[in-house]
Every structure is written in structure tokens, then in C-alpha cells.
């Protein structure tokens, strides 16, 4: 089934100039970009986006990190998009990520891991709507 996932190229990858290379990998893997924007999350916005993690010990660090520099947010479409995209980005911790995955190539630690990918269809919808109005989703 053709469905959608949501991604962000995180500030570590943005600040190191990896945005173009990461978008090429996503494109070459057959994902269709149906919405995209570059923006800089405030601490308040980053805290809202990651609210599900607010009890986790790394929450404050995550919010600081995600508001440190610009991100590129995008909605992607492909058959089995959520699962296929999680495969393409690799494990949360780059030390455990498979060769050739985006996190293996560009992440430096479990926190600064270059890219986000939704973990379910429901979260993909919620996360997409956080950044994009219906008029911005093609
Ligand atoms: P994901 O679905 O692979 O992104 O992983 P999670 O949902 O478990 O965590 C969300 C994000 O929080 C991760 O992508 C990391 O940026 C960050 N994170 C997860 N675990 C840690 C940790 O142990 N330390 C820090 N600093 N950040 C973490």
C-alpha cells in the first residue's frame, strides 16, 4: 500500500552540510517528496514535537539539540513508507546501524543521529500536520 512517512534532517546533519546528500539518498531509494521546508525549531516547538519523550532522561538534551540549528522537514510517499524509511535511516544508535544507512553514514551518536523517521502511520500523520497545512501537502 502506498503510504506516507515524515522525516526531519536534524541540525547536526544540516550544520555539517549533508542536506543535499541525504535528500539524494532518499530520492534514489524511491521516496516521493510531497512536502518539504527548511526551518529552525524554537525550544518550545522542539519540546512540543518530542513531548512523548518528556519523561526520558535525555529529553532536555534532545530539545537543546533539535533547536541548535536549521532542520529540513519533509513528507515522503512510497509503498510501505514508514517501515521502508526506518530501514533506510538505520538504528537510533549509529554504532548499531547497518552499513549504507543514513545514520551509519552521517550520525555521530545516539542523540546526534542526523535524521528522524516516523515510527507508525499514526505518528506520520500527526508529525506531518505539525509542520504542514493540507495546502502544503502535494
Ligand atoms: P528514533 O525513533 O530512532 O528517532 O528513536 P527514539 O524515538 O527512541 O528517540 C528519539 C530521538 O531522541 C532519537 O532519534 C535521538 O535523537 C534522541 N535520543 C534517543 N536516545 C537518546 C539518548 O540516550 N541520549 C540522547 N542524548 N538522545 C537520545
**Tens digits of residue pLDDT in 43-102:** 999 999 999 999 999 999 999 999 999 999 999 999 999 999 999 999 999 999 999 999
* Atom from ligand 1 closest to the CA of residue 92: 3
| Residue of 49, 58, 67 with the most ligand 1 atoms within 8 Å of its CB, for mutation | 58
- Please tell me the distance between residue 13's alpha carbon and the centre of ligand 1 in angstroms: 15
Domains and CATH numbers, the chain: 2-136 (3.30.70.141)
Catalytic residues: 116
The span from the CA of 132 to the CA of 91, in Å, is 26
Torsions phi, psi of 8, nearest 5?
Answer: -135, 130
The span from the CA of 82 to the CA of 87, in Å, is 9
pLDDT value at position 100?
97
Residue 11 burial class via C-beta count within 10 angstroms: exposed 0-12, middle 13-18, buried 19 and up:
buried
pTM of model > 0.95 = yes
| 57 secondary structure, DSSP code | T
Torsions phi, psi of 68, nearest 5?
Answer: -75, -25
| Residue that has been written with the C-alpha cell 535511516 in this structure | 89
Amino acid at each position: 500500500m502506498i503510504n506516507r512517512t515524515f522525516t526531519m534532517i536534524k541540525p547536526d546533519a544540516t550544520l555539517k552540510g549533508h542536506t543535499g546528500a541525504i535528500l539524494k539518498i532518499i530520492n534514489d531509494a524511491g521516496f516521493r517528496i510531497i512536502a518539504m521546508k527548511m526551518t529552525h525549531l524554537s525550544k518550545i516547538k522542539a519540546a512540543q514535537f518530542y513531548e512523548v519523550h518528556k519523561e526520558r532522561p535525555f529529553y532536555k538534551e534532545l530539545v537543546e539539540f533539535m533547536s541548535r540549528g536549521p532542520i529540513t522537514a519533509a513528507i515522503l510517499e512510497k509503498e510501505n513508507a514508514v517501515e521502508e524509511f526506518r530501514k533506510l535511516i538505520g538504528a537510533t544508535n549509529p554504532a548499531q546501524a547497518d552499513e549504507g544507512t543514513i545514520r551509519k553514514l552521517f550520525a555521530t551518536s545516539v542523540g546526534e543521529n542526523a535524521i528522524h523517521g516516523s515510527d507508525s502511520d499514526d505518528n506520520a500523520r500527526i508529525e506531518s500536520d505539525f509542520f504542514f497545512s493540507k495546502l502544503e501537502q502535494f
